[in-house]
Amino acid sequence: MLGSIIGDIIGSTYEFRNTDKYDFDPFPSGSGFTDDTVLTAGIADAILSGRNYSETVREYALNYPGKGYGEWFSRWIHMENPMPYRSFGNGSAMRVSPVGWAFDSLGETLKEAERSSSITHSHPEGKKGAKVVAAAIFLARTGHDKAEIRKFIEKSYSYNLSRTLAGIKPFYSFNETCQKTVPEAIICFLESENYEDAVRKAIWLGGDSDTLACIAGGIAEAYYRKMPQEWIERSASLLDDKIKAIIDRFGKRFGLPCGISGSNIINPEI
């Protein structure tokens, strides 16, 4: 999940100010975590504590106001009896990375991904986006190669992953749906050579940069098992103690390759 959070932070200043440069500054002035990080931490906390997803996600959102939440989600967190609102926005996919790490089978991972989505994003495309991202992380962390990951997603969920980033970019624009975010983020991972390359390709592509980088970064973390130490440390400096503690607790419990605790890095080279 740290790979998702770093992707979110790096993408935060480029979301509404896309760049065509691949060698962009990953941490310009104004970088910080957004709703992608807050809700990812909320899902991780729910898994660790055994609390339900709805209660924990709402608690995190209320404790971190002004982080870029969507209009319908902002209404949902303040409802007395919150109900799902059939969204197919990419919020279900951006927060799901902990699910990809926490369960022992692909079937259970898919079931939990749908549960985590359905508290808000109950539209079939919203649930599909969450399941695809969680499945990609599960397959990556359990030793499947890119060809196997691509084949499973295309066969099971009909996302077109045969496109190239070079072919997508000239026609791609800001889009907050799962349908126009999740496949593109996965292609960023599939074309990457390492974690940094996946995140840089996601930002270079344009669109909803923080979420593209969050999703691509989460999968790349699971696949490559290694992230730039400087990026981990710079991200740590932009997170508060509560979120850093969740990252470390979750990482230790489920054997993630990297943890974060101030500047104290856990197994960065595994």
Total number of domains constituting the chain: 1
- The mean pLDDT of the chain is 95
Q: Which domain holds residue 92?
A: 2-266
| pLDDT higher than threshold 90 for residue 22 | yes
Output the domain CATH number for residue 132: 1.10.4080.10
More confident position, 42 or 264: 42
Query: In the structure, what pLDDT confidence band is assigned to residue 258 with cuts at 50, 70 and 90?
Result: confident
Q: What is the DSSP string of the chain?
A: -HHHHHHHHHHTTTSSS----TT--SS-TT----HHHHHHHHHHHHHHHT--HHHHHHHHHHHS-SS---HHHHHHHT-SS-------BTHHHHT-HHHHHH-SSHHHHHHHHHHHHHTT--SHHHHHHHHHHHHHHHHHHTT--HHHHHHHHHHHH-------HHHHGGG-----BSTTTHHHHHHHHHT-SSHHHHHHHHHHH-SSHHHHHHHHHHHHHHHH----HHHHHHHHTTS-HHHHHHHHHHHHHHT-S-EEETTEEESTT-
Q: What is the pLDDT of residues 105-158, one digit of tens each?
A: 999 999 999 999 999 999 999 999 999 999 999 999 999 999 999 999 999 999
